[in-house]
Amino acid sequence: MKKEGIEKDSRFGTVNFEKRKHSRFALNLPVEYWEVDKSKSHPSRAGNVSEGGMLLFCPEEIEIGKNLGLRLFIDSGLDFIAIDAFVEVVWADLPFGDKGEHRIGVKFTDISEKDVGHLKTFLDSLMDLRIKPKLDILPRLLSGLESKTSELPFRSPQKR
């Protein structure tokens, strides 16, 4: 039943999970990009990266659907590696922050197997840095508590 003037919001009480194929990692990495039909490159930075694409902060507005070439610079631990790829702009946002940077989302359209390998290795190394939960804490705590409860001055009522 619908009350006058009040509409039921079908989204109320539901959870909207992201439907991403790849995990993304929040980073601040240097990027150089250029329009495919032009040779002049522009400096930029990546805000997050995944195997499927990345968030770029660009000094200029770039249209959705535009094809770009880019070079992402990552630290391999021993040296810097440049990953070259072609991307397509899939979304664009209004200018962001004090510098007026434009946020754009790009997806990889062409990247060599070698560079995919470098990117996966880099992202896997970030995954290894995440703290793994210690699942054995609770059983250890419980077993420690069981031995201590007999020493407590009070006890829960026992069934008779």
CATH number, position 30: 2.40.10.220
- Is 159 contained in some domain? no
Angle at alpha carbon of residue 23, lines to 65 and 113, rounded to 5°: 70
Average pLDDT for runs of 10 along the chain of length 160: 50 49 76 92 93 92 95 86 96 81 94 94 78 49 50 50
The pLDDT value given to residue 17: 44
Tokens, residue 60: 């200029």
Give the total residue count for the chain.
160
Structural domain range at position 108 = 25-129
59 closest CA partner among 41, 39, 82: 41
Tokens, residue 87: 């991307």
- Is 3 contained in some domain? no
Number of domains composing the chain: 1
The pLDDT value given to residue 34: 96
- Is 11 contained in some domain? no
The pLDDT value given to residue 137: 45
The pLDDT value given to residue 153: 53
Task: Give the list of residues 6+ apart from residue 59 with CB closer than 8 angstroms, or none.
Answer: 42, 43, 44, 99, 100, 101, 102
- Is 68 contained in some domain? yes
